[in-house]
Amino acid sequence: MHTALPSEQTVPPVPEPINIGVTIRGFRLQKGLSQGDIEKRTGLLRCYLSRVENGHTVPSLETLQKIAAALDISLSHFFSEDPVRDVSGISLSEEEIRFLTQVQRYAANLTESDRRLLLAMVRKFAATVSTTFD
């Protein structure tokens, strides 16, 4: 008589829980908006938005819809696999993200030659500043 060995069951991996506040903050910063900007667009208090972003409060779906509309994104963006662009190996402060988002917004209207000129000016400025403080 043969005894059957129990078959190994493969358990699908459990997805990482979504921290909706971090996701919202990421989209907000990516768009170069402050909590005050979202407050004006949604009517939600800035202190409430802060509590959401810091994980102290979980918003309802209706509130998430208001925030998504204020960010000009669909509600589904909050729940996608990779909701916020992440550049691996680079760590930016909120201030740096805000600055780069503004540069991106203005650069969208520039021609390719104007963009090259702007980059050349930034390089020259950076080189001048670094030699000033050496």
Mean pLDDT of the chain: 79
Decide if 66 contacts 55 (C-beta within 8 A): no
Residue 39 CA: distances (Å) to CA of 48, 63, 107, 118: 9, 12, 27, 34
Both tokens of 40, joined, read: 């004006």
- Amino acid of residue 125: F
Q: What is the spatial distance between Cα 126 and Cα 110, in angstroms, rounded to a whole number?
A: 21
DSSP state of 93: -
Tens-digit pLDDT profile for residues 23-63: 899 889 888 889 999 999 999 999 999 999 988 999 998 99
pLDDT at 130 over 80: no
* pLDDT at residue number 103: 77
Tens-digit pLDDT profile for residues 53-96: 988 999 998 999 999 999 988 888 887 765 445 444 556 676 77
Q: Which residue would you say has higher pLDDT here, 117 or 86? A: 117
* pLDDT at residue number 75: 85
